[in-house]
Each structure stands twice: as C-alpha cells, then as structure tokens.
Chain A
Amino acid sequence: MNAVNASGWRPEMGAAGEDLNLATASGDRGLALEEKLIFELGRPGTCGVDMDEPRGEVLPGLTRFLRKAAPALPGLSEPETVRHYTRLSRQNYAIDLGPFPLGSCTMKHNPRLNEKMARLPGFADVHPLQPQQTVRGALEAINELAHWLIELTGMHGVAMTPKAGAHGELCGLLCIKAAIEARGEDRKLILVPESAHGTNPATAAFAGFSVESIPATEDGRVDLQALIGRLGPDVAGVMITNPNTCGLFERDMKAISDAVHAAGGYVYCDGANFNAVVGKVRPGDLGIDAMHINLHKTFSTPHGGGGPGSGPVVLSEALSPFGPLPFTAKTADGVVHLVEEEDAEGFGHSQAFGRMAAFHGQMGMFTRALTYILGHGADGLRQAAEDAVLNANYVLRSLEDVLNAPFAKAGPCMHEALFSDDGLPEGFTTLDIAKGLIDEGFHPMTVYFPLVVHGAMLVEPTETESKDGLDRFIGSMRSLAARARNADPSLKSAPHHAPRRRLDETLAARKPVLTWKESAGE
C-alpha cells in the first residue's frame, strides 16, 4: 500500500484532489449503511411474532400482581428485524472477514460443523434437569471431552462447570483454598507475576486471597529467584501464565513448581495460551496443579462478540478431590452418570467445594469443542500447535527490522510475537499503528499489553492463517511502520475507512449514557 504518502493525500480525496467525503441525505454511502436504534425504528403495537390469541382470564390470585402496562419496548416486524440486524452485522469486523492477530486473546477459524453439531436437538433442546435416563448421550459427550482434556494435559481430573476462562481461574483458586483448608492451614497469599492477565489478580482477590506481584526478568520471564525468595508458610500458591504473555515459554516452569510445592503451595497456570503447546507439552508433566482451558482459544468455539466462554479446569491428583459439583463419572458398566450433591460420596468425591453455578456447564460449547477435537485428532492438534508457533516466529522475523521486538533475542517466541512502539518518532504510538491496521483491512493486534513492555503490540496469527495472509499482514505492518517513520500525519487520524472515526471514549466515561432515552434520541 504505497498510495498514502507524506504529500498531503488523504484517503477521502480523489486522484485530482477533490473532496470525495460528500454528505448524503440518508447518511448511507453506497453499501456503507447507517442504522438507527430499534427505539427510533419501532412503533407501538408492532409485533414480529404471530401467536395464538390467549384464551380465558388470569387466575384470580394473580390479579394484584399484574403489571399496569406492557413493558415500554418497541417491536419490529420480521422483515424490519432481519434488516436491522443484518445492517448492524456489517459494522463489525469478524474472523470470517480476516485475521484477528490478537495476542493472548486468540481468534481462529470457527468451523461451521461445530455449529451444526451443537444445534442437534439431542444437545440443544435438552433441559438440564431432565431425568438422567433421557440424557445419556449428552453426558457421554461431556465425559468424552473431559477425557480428551485430561489426556492432552496429563492431569488427573477436570472440572467442567466453569462458565468462562476467568470463572475457571476462580474455580482453580477455590480448589487450592479448599485443599489448604483440608490440611487445616490458613494461607492467604497468592503470588502473581507482573506479566499476568488482569483477570489473575482480580480472581485471586475475588476468591478471598491477598495478592503480591512477582517481577519479570529482563528477558521477559518470571524471576525465579525473586519467586523462590518470597515463598513461605503464608503462600497458598502462584498464578502463572505459560507460555507467558510476552510470548515466551517459561523455561523454569518445573523448577518453579518444585519450589512452590516444597513450600506447601500450589501452582495455578493460566491456560489461555495452551493452543501453542497442545499435543507438544503436557502441563501435568511440568508440575502444574490447576489450569483453565479457554475452549474458544484452543478448540475454536466462536467468541460471538464477547462470549459465551467456557473454562474447564484440569486438576492434579492433589486438587482433584476438591473440584466443584456436579461432575460426570463413568462406572464399570460403561454408563456415564451426572454426579450431584447426594451421590458425590459414592463416587469418591466427598471433599467437593460445592457448586459454582446453576446446572452442569456450557454444553453448547462442549459439543463445539468436541467436534473440533475429533476432526483434528491427537496428530492434528499437535500440527496446529506447531503451525501456530511457526506462524508467530515468521511474523517476528519478518518485522523485527522495522519494529522494536524487545525479546527477539530471548529465544523463539511461542504462539505470539511481541513488538513495542520504541523507536517510532515522537508523537507516533502503538494506537496509531493499531488504528492504521483497520484502514488496511485488519483487526488491530493486542495493544498496550503485556504491561511489562511500554507501548506493547502483541501479535498472534494462529494456525488457521495462510502464508499468503501472513505476507499481506506483514506488508501492511511494514507500510505502517514506514508511514510512522515518515511522520505521515494521516496515520494520526486513522481509521479513515471504518464505519466510525476515532470514538471519544473519555466523553463516554465522563458522561455515561448507558440506555436510550426518548429525549436524548436524535
């Protein structure tokens, strides 16, 4: 992309320099469509669902509870509804449109077979409290996914009920706390390295622990000596991310685990980055006691604009007895049971810490993940991890001459490559590169994370990107780096080709408008 240069050309100018940014009466520009809110489109009394007419009166006992008026909510006809949401969908970037090089967040191709299988009525149209005799296949599916997760991680057990990754972190920490209580000890401190996801310290605090930070070394890894120096009888455990958020493998993982165990603590691993090592390394072999697995990251369940997530937690032999209820278990006759409160003891699970949520987990995500896993198999998952690491290192080596790569000498990166805005001219920042990428047709990389690097840009291509796609991304990044070096002012006001220009986030926070109000409408 060489069309943009320092000569003053703007994307909204034609070749002859005339202004192409003409207003239209509708607000639309060709196929770039503006869309009102449903509250501005709807009319009272409109309903897009045809229903039977209610027969008969309400129960006399209900009369005093009746609402005075129907909820003040607009309705749209079916065609209006379909058009509204279809038009809105076009204002979104999505993995189906192009790569999301989001380090630490990992977006990969979402196979549609997953969607088809999750919608089979035997999985989708089943009530969580149906008698067990009517849901044997669903329980078998959960147990089969559990088996894969245990084998791939080399762990002893798995808690399937957590609703999302951060909920899984909470589950792992509650297991640690329950195990410490069972030993009759009172350890209140969790050590969290600086490079950890923000959820890690928040989770530890939410589980009733206090939190202390452990610094990183100059090469982007946990400072082993600092960690060992802090261990003691007050430490319940450490939360560590491996591969870590600098994209590096914690070489000392086994030594860290051994030291923590020797001091009577447990090791929690944030498994967000398991996709980089699945099939290559088993966390259980590194001494980890608990690790959540984000099914959307490693096993391709869709992110859907912010979830649903699912965060099964694999557990070591030491922590397995404490996992939450309910869980599935297979008896010698091959039947899979859903074990709830009253049967837990019979299944050797008498120390379960209780229930973390209603029902038994994110079944819709389990069926998607299992579908993906079966397609890949043990060999395909290993290949996927290798390709993810290969793609990330290819990006790292293809950009390190134009962007600062702080840990490029610290060894190969794993699944994600870390750059920073060091070396860009005064006034040009990571945010400008990110917004410039939008104009290039890419979703920005993860920005300003991890915090251990100033102006971080964390790029994770994932294994489902082709070499051609990577080359185009690399080309765009090189062009943006060049524009920054040339102090191209148009980069400062990017994006120019998105549904919206830079949005005023300060205004949104200072004067929050969180719901639509008649008077505030346009």
Chain B
Amino acid sequence: MRYLPLTPAERAEMLGVIGVDSVDALFEDVPAAARLPGPVPGLPLHASEMAVERHMSALAAKNLSAGAAPFFLGAGAYRHHVPASVDHLIQRGEFLTAYTPYQPEIAQGTLQVLFEFQTQVARLLGTDVANASMYDGSTGCWEAVAMAARVTRRRKAVISGGLHPHYVETCRTMAHFTGDVIDARAPQLSGSADDAEVIAAIDGETSCVVVQYPDVLGRIPDLAAIAAAAQAKGALLIAVVTEPVALGLIEAPGHIGADIVVGEGQSLGVGLNFGGPHLGLFGCREKYVRQMPGRLCGQTVDAEGKRGFVLTLSTREQHIRREKATSNICTNAGLCALAFSIHMTLLGGEGLAKLARLNHQAARRTADALAAIPGVSVLNDAYVNEFTVVLPRDAREVVRELADRRVLGGVSLGRLYPGETSLANGLVVCASELTTDEDIAALASALSEVLEGVPA
C-alpha cells in the first residue's frame, strides 16, 4: 500500500511507546458490537496503480468528450480554450496541496492570489468589492437572495423567467425551508427578455429582483430599467452572469445598477468537469460588505511593515458567529479561483474583449447557418455567444438523434424545463472561439438530416 509509510516493525515499536499490545486496543471505546472484524464485505481489495488506471480509463472511454465532436452546449456551463500554462500552474504542489490560508505568514501565495482574484472579479462585474469565491453560480445565487433579505429585512424575491432553471430550483428548495417567498416568473419562448413582467411584479415586500444577464435563452435584459424600478421600491437588483466571457462585450452589471452581481466563473480556466467543481463569483456594493457571505481576503502589514494579506472580516463567519453567521460556508473554491485568475491574467481586459468578440462572431455564423435550414428560426435579435432556435419538433428528441450522429448540438429546453410543453421545441445553441467552420457545417448538415427524417 504505497500511500502508507509505516512498516510492521515501526508499528510494533510505536505500540510499545503507547503501551498497548495491538492497534485494536486503541479502538476500545468503540462498542464491540459495532467493530468490524475485517475489511467491509462486498468491496474489492487494494489494486495496483496500473489496474486502477485501466479501470478508470475504461470508464472515461465510454463518454463522448466535448473535444471529440462538434460541440454546441452552453446553458450554464461553457467550453473555452484554456491556455496550457493554467493547468500547469494550478498543479504546482504548493497551490494544489495547500490548506485554507488560516496561517497567513506561510500562505501568502494563496492569499495574494485571492486578493488579485477579488480585484479582477470586482472589475469584471463592475462592483466595488468581491469575495474570494463561492462553490458555484447556483449556490451563490441563493446566497445573494439570502443576503438581500438581511439587507432589506424583507423575504420576497422576484425572479425573472430568464434565470437558469437550476438556479431557480436551488432558490426554491432553500426558500421552502427558510420561509422565504420566491415569486418566479414563468419562462417564455419569446424574442426578448421578460423585463416588463419582472418590473410589474416588484412591490413593497420585495427584497430583491434576480435577473440573469444574458439570460438562459441568450437574451439580454435591460438591467438599468429593472434596477431603477427595483430601487424605487427599496429592493435590490441581483444580476446573475453564467457566462463571464460575455462581459468582454456587454456592459458590466455593476455599472448599470446591479447591487449584487453573482456569477459562474467556470468559463475561464476551470473546464466543464461534467458539472463540477465550478466557481462562484460574488460582488456587491461596498456598503453591504459586512452582510456578504463567504471568505474575504484583505491587505495589511506585518510586524516589519511589509505588505501582506490575511483572511478578514471573519466576525461574519460560522466559526465565530455560529448560528448568527452570514452563511454556513467554511471553504471556497480556491483552486478554481486560482485557475480563473491565471486565465484572466493571461487575457487581460483587452484579451477578454477580443475573446468575447470571437465568440460572438462564431455564434453569428452558427445562427446564420441554422436559420437557413427550413423550419428552423432564430428566436433572439440580440445575443453574445448563445442563442435559442425554435425547431419544428421536440428538441429533446432532436438532440438525441444528433448525438447518434456524434454531434453535440445544444441544450434542449425540454431538458431544462421538463413538462413545459410550450418550450419543447426550443434549443439553446452556444458557440465559442473553439467552434470551427467545419463544426458549424457538421451541425447544420446533421440537423437538416434529422429534421427531414433521413436515417443515419
């Protein structure tokens, strides 16, 4: 067992120092009836590195990886090119195998990264401050709703129909148990976001309005108008960004009125990972910082006056405030934040703007190719790299038939909204800088075939 350094002779010597005959004596506080006499039955015994690698590789080989097929999925998780140096750097043992930086004198590497990350995120989202990351966008979204309730002392959240349904469900689940009220608009298969409907739902009980930007169908809501309406009634605007690359092209939510901006940072540096780990971004106005959930890194000085960094404002946190804490979170996604930060550093603001432009152009070419197929129409007139097409039949089946042809053609609204028959023909399509003209041609040709019912 290659991970266990003790030899039998050393174990015996150590038992002698402790003064017991056998290791079982050290488990004497466990009631005898609950002690297992040997390895748990029904499980295999240890295996060699080669055998493990063979087994795991065989499982991996059963999956169609995104890079092995024309790929057009988005809807909350995005595939982008990650420069090779990102993964190389996060695999340095000093980052990969470090603990949460509670001992700042020997964790300046992680802490400086978190300080840089907070600054990058705040500037990207257009907020005054940002925390050192959350688990992911969806849980961060609920934390924002809970934070808005603390700030406004109201318990009703108005949620736009364009918010990713998994985010809505996450909020609904939590609200059911905490007694908060979730007033979620129904999603509509229409060309523009539901701004007017959202504005109409805001009342004097509303703590916050939650709006995705761009929304799950790729549409772009008018944040400035919603912010004005929300703030006029004493509610906060929470903007949710699932695709941060989009912010290279469209205005940052914090610059157009959002009080809290949460996001999914997976797009930059992190990778798809079948849904996790991802990375939550969280920024807000400075005046709300003490109500903010999660970890914060702050600048200070050491005993010699040198600049250094520490985790700070921990009096908001669970280990001090216990049941009064701003959240129960006691970790973040530090390694994913590092990957995001490195990727962002490589790009710089102008690189991000260029990347967003490349994504947009790829999406435009894709949309044009799909719109040329009889029976297919593009829903939105404004989008960054993700848009919705309406097909002549159930998009869920179409996606499966495309997959049979080894084309990963998008996310059907039937997958996102099971049971919403009015949305069943919608397909969310995403393109990126990785999308080639050949990929677009392959999707268009496969989709034509599927829609015409031509057998594979």
Contact = CB atoms under 8 A, between A and B. Distances in A.
Q: Do A and B form a real pair?
A: yes
Contact of A73 (B71, B289, B352): B352
Contacts of B89: 81-82, 85-86, 89
B274 A75 contact: no
B441 interface: no
Interface string B297-328: 11111111011111011110111111111011
B116 interface: yes
Contact of A363 (B4, B28, B276, B314): B276
Contacts of A94: 93-98
Contact of A302 (B23, B39, B96): B96
Contacts of B92: 85-86, 89
Interface stretch (B41-49, B202-210, B369-377): B41-49
B135 interface: yes
B169 A280 contact: no
Interface string B35-76: 110111111111101011101111111111111100101011
Contact of B109 (A90, A282, A444): A90
A38 B1 contact: no
A254 to B, nearest CB: 6
B181 interface: no
Nearest to A250: B29
A356 B173 contact: yes
Given A125-B271, A362-B277, A357 B138 contact: yes
B312 A371 contact: no
B348 A46 contact: yes
Interface string A492-522: 0101001111111101110011111000101
Contacts of A58: 249, 357, 360
A278 B327 CA distance: 30
A367 B29 contact: no
B350 A44 contact: yes
A521 B310 CA distance: 17
Interface string B15-30: 1011110010111111
Contact of A135 (B63, B106, B347): B63
Contacts of A91: 106-109, 112
Given A61-B381, A202-B318, A374 B44 contact: yes
Given A52-B358, A88-B112, A202-B327, A512 B56 contact: no
A65 B250 contact: yes
B451 interface: no
A143 to B, nearest CB: 10
Interface string B90-132: 1111111111110111111110111110111011100011101
Given A125-B66, A379-B39, A505 B49 contact: no
A345 to B, nearest CB: 12
A522 B324 CA distance: 38
B166 interface: yes
Contacts of A309: 135, 331
A412 B35 contact: no
B308 A500 contact: yes
Contact of A280 (B2, B36, B88): B36
Contact of B28 (A100, A116, A123, A412): A412
B139 interface: yes
A199 B334 contact: no
Contact of A354 (B19, B176, B324, B344): B176
B4 A383 contact: yes
Nearest to A115: B91
A102 B319 CA distance: 16
A477 to B, nearest CB: 15
B109 A383 contact: no
B49 A51 contact: no
B99 A282 contact: no
A285 B313 contact: no
A382 B14 CA distance: 18
A325 to B, nearest CB: 8
Contacts of B330: 164-166, 197-199
Contacts of B53: 113, 116-117
Nearest to A84: B345
B360 A59 contact: yes
A444 B106 CA distance: 10
B303 A467 contact: no
Contact of B85 (A78, A148, A357): A78
B335 A308 contact: yes
Contacts of B264: 358
Contact of B298 (A374, A443, A495, A508): A508
A65 B224 CA distance: 11
Nearest to B167: A358
Size class of the contact patch on chain A: 35 or more
Contacts of A382: 36, 38-40
Contacts of A423: none
B361 A124 contact: no
Contact of A127 (B49, B79, B173): B79
Interface stretch (A224-232, A260-268, A390-398): A390-398
Nearest to A362: B276
B310 A151 contact: no
Given A136-B63, A280-B30, A380 B173 contact: no
Residue from A62, A206, A390, A498 having most chain B Cβ neighbours under 10 A = A206
Interface string A327-364: 00000000000001110000000000111111111111
B346 A130 contact: no
B259 interface: no
A62 B173 contact: no
Contact of A49 (B250, B349, B351): B351
B110 A305 contact: yes
B441 to A, nearest CB: 16
B384 interface: yes
Given A131-B403, A379-B45, A397-B18, A167 B6 contact: no
B401 to A, nearest CB: 10
B272 A128 contact: yes
Interface in A57-75: 58-59, 61-62, 65-68, 70-75
Interface stretch (A3-11, A169-177, A480-488): A169-177
A251 interface: yes
A248 interface: yes
Interface string B393-413: 000000110011000100100
Contact of B382 (A61, A127, A305, A397): A61
A184 interface: no
A201 interface: yes
Contacts of B107: 91-93, 305
B453 interface: no
B273 to A, nearest CB: 4
A336 to B, nearest CB: 10
B115 A138 contact: no
A390 B26 contact: yes
A249 B274 contact: no
B310 A503 contact: yes
B342 interface: yes
Nearest to B27: A280
A54 B52 CA distance: 44
A16 B43 CA distance: 63
Contacts of B55: 374
Contact of B403 (A134, A167, A306, A376): A134
A303 interface: yes
B40 A279 contact: yes
Interface in A104-157: 105, 107, 109-111, 113, 115-117, 119-131, 133-138, 140-141, 144, 148, 151-152
A126 B59 CA distance: 13
9 contacts: A81-B345, A95-B99, A125-B272, A280-B30, A387-B11, A394-B18, A463-B6, A469-B5, A508-B299
Given A73-B352, A202-B328, A412-B28, 11 more contacts: A74-B348, A113-B49, A127-B71, A130-B403, A151-B43, A197-B330, A201-B318, A306-B99, A307-B334, A359-B138, A386-B23
Can you list the 7 inter-chain pairs with the closest CB atoms, starting with the nearest? Answer: A75-B348, A304-B335, A122-B60, A359-B275, A137-B62, A306-B334, A128-B275
